[in-house]
Structure 1
């Protein structure tokens, strides 16, 4: 069974260092919270708000030890007026026996406001 694990994080500035650091932080926390081994990851889709353009967040995911061969793709979020700014979102597709209810979705920094019902 393939399940999706959602995560989002915000950055305070659009800098190469912060985008890579916070993207890696989010991916690692998603993996830790759901006990995900990189070999069970089918793919990761990363989107950023259009105000992030200093780095490819996929580079951060591929740089995590053991994640070199995980398929990762970046795209931009829709530019909706009033939407959360400087936000990086991850959708990780994993092979798992967990039910939808058992999946822990991770929202960090200002992104907690996206899904307060899922923040633990």
Structure 2
């Protein structure tokens, strides 16, 4: 079954030196917590809020060994007034036997406020 595995992280500045490493940290944590491998991932979507323009965060996945052939797409979030700024969101589409309620969604830094209901101890 293909499941969506979500995550998000915030950065302090609109610079590549923050955007790419933060995205890599988030992706590595999603991969680790859910025990996924590149062969089980159909695609990864990455979105950023409108003020993050200094880098393509998808570049982060290319820095993880073995993930070079997984399709990744970057896009911009809908600029809703009052939404969390400087936020990078990720959605892995993975083939897994894990049931939906046992998926471990990962929210780091300021993004923990987005979906506290999905965070598990």
TM over 0.5: yes
**Runs of 4+ deviating beyond 6 Å:** none
Number of residue pairs matched? 120
Partner residue in 1 for 2:29:
29
> What is the RMSD of the two structures over their aligned residues, measured on CA atoms?
0.7
Partner residue in 1 for 2:59:
59
Cα displacement string for residues 59-107 of structure 1 (whole angstroms, at most 9, x for unaligned residues): 1112211110110000000001100000000010001111101100000
Between the aligned partners of 1:12 and 1:38, the Cα distance in structure 2 is 29
**Structure 1 gap segments, 5+ residues each:** none
Q: What secondary structure sits across from 1:90 in the alignment?
A: strand
The Cα of 1:38 is off from its aligned counterpart by 1.4
The Cα of 1:118 is off from its aligned counterpart by 1.6
**Structure 2 gap segments, 5+ residues each:** none
Q: What secondary structure sits across from 1:57 in the alignment?
A: coil
Partner residue in 1 for 2:73:
73
Q: What secondary structure sits across from 2:25 in the alignment?
A: helix
TM-score by length of structure 2 reads 0.97
